[in-house]
Amino acid sequence: MIYDPIDCQALVELANDYLEDGLAAASRTDFELHLATCKGCIAYLEQLRLTSDLVSMLPRSRPDEGTLDQLMDEFRRRGPGSGDPQE
Amino acid sequence: MSHPMAKTQTLASVDESSLLELMRQGDEHAFRELVCEFNEPLLRLAMSHVPTREIAEEVVQATWVGVITGIDRFEGRSSLKTWIFRILVNQAKTRGVRESRTLPASSLGDRPTGSAVSPDRFRGTDSLWVGHWTSHPIHPSEVPGERLVADETLAAVDAAVQRLPELQRQVIVLRDLHGFSPSEICELLGVTEGNQRVLLHRARSQVRSALERYLVSPEREGGR
């Protein structure tokens, strides 16, 4: 008889805490015991990891040129090496 | 088993100490890199603290000026990134808005059932296997690697992130795109640890759900 204290429906509610190392030891053990024999939950966890990794790859937009120019001016005028006394 | 991609590191986390050194020497290009890297997340974060985009832009501008004039005094006790974002939060606070608070559950953007995965994906009490998957989710290794990281897949993920309620979006972007720790996120957004965990859980669950729909039927989910 396999000891399986949590089912898939319960696991998915804990999956993110597991990835974030936020599960207490006892819960983590139950989690991993279930995972050891459940292909569905293994796949789910991998999907969750993939989600986080894909978000890390999202493109970022650049500030517009006008804003950038203003800031570069400011940096030249008042930044390190400008000769301006630092506040 | 893991899928075939490495997590992209942010520019700042890889080159932070060299960027800092170059900036201290007055190197414009280093400063420009920093602005390009962080202007957008700073703006997004500012908008969660102040009422209008116009004010948010002012706050971000003031933040960069603070960075420019304060860089010589930066002692490196926190990361450069954290220091910059703290300047932003302080700037936003001088414009007198949102204070730290525990959020009521409704503002966390709850789904009607509050569950990470729709209950219809699991067997009900009429089955011997109550609580188990009715059909297994697709494992990422079953999808061709190049498709996993294709522009269309990222577009679908981006669209899902954009659809999230405001705070959930902030949390997942700060955590996964910009690499802030949970405690830094609590500090920047003015939320409790408990809030942050729930927000991240819900945000990632929603985006995962959209990603799965896309991987299974790309023509239907797409960049919707």
Quote the pTM value. 0.80
- The predicted structure's pLDDT at residue B101: 42
- What are B133's strand-pairing partners? B122
**Rounded mean pLDDT of A60-83?**
87
Residue B120 has pLDDT above 90, yes or no: yes
> What is the enclosing helix (H) or strand (E) of B131?
none
Query: Coil, strand or helix: which one is B193?
Result: helix
- Flag if A78 and B69 touch (Cβ within 8 Å): yes
Query: How confident is the model over B57-114, as pLDDT tens digits?
Result: 999 999 999 999 999 999 888 889 889 999 999 998 888 665 444 445 455 554 444 7
- Flag if B35 and A63 touch (Cβ within 8 Å): yes
Q: Return contacts of A18-23, CB within 8 angstroms, 24+ apart.
A: A18/A45, A19/A45, A19/A48, A19/A49, A19/A52, A20/B182, A20/B197, A20/B200, A22/B197
A69 or A61, which is more confident? Answer: A69
Q: What's chain A's length in residues?
A: 87
B3 or B52, which is more confident? Answer: B52
Min Cα distance B98 → chain A (Å) is 26
- Flag if B212 and A8 touch (Cβ within 8 Å): no
Residue B5 has pLDDT above 50, yes or no: no
- The predicted structure's pLDDT at residue B133: 96
| C-alpha distances out from residue A79 to A64, A66, B206, Å | 21, 19, 43
Min Cα distance A48 → chain B (Å) is 6
- The predicted structure's pLDDT at residue B44: 82
User: What is the complex's ipTM, to 2 decimals?
Assistant: 0.85
- The predicted structure's pLDDT at residue B8: 40
**Rounded mean pLDDT of A32-49?**
96
DSSP at B133: B
**Rounded mean pLDDT of B43-52?**
84
- HSE value, Cβ hemisphere, 13 Å, CA-based, for A72: 14
Query: How confident is the model over B161-199, as pLDDT tens digits?
Result: 999 998 999 999 999 998 899 999 998 888 999 999 999
Residue B182 with chain A: CB contacts under 8 Å: 20
Q: What mean pLDDT, rounded, does chain B reach?
A: 84
Is residue A36 within 8 angstroms of chain B, CB to CB?
no
Residue B144 has pLDDT above 80, yes or no: yes
d(CA B179, CA B14): 12
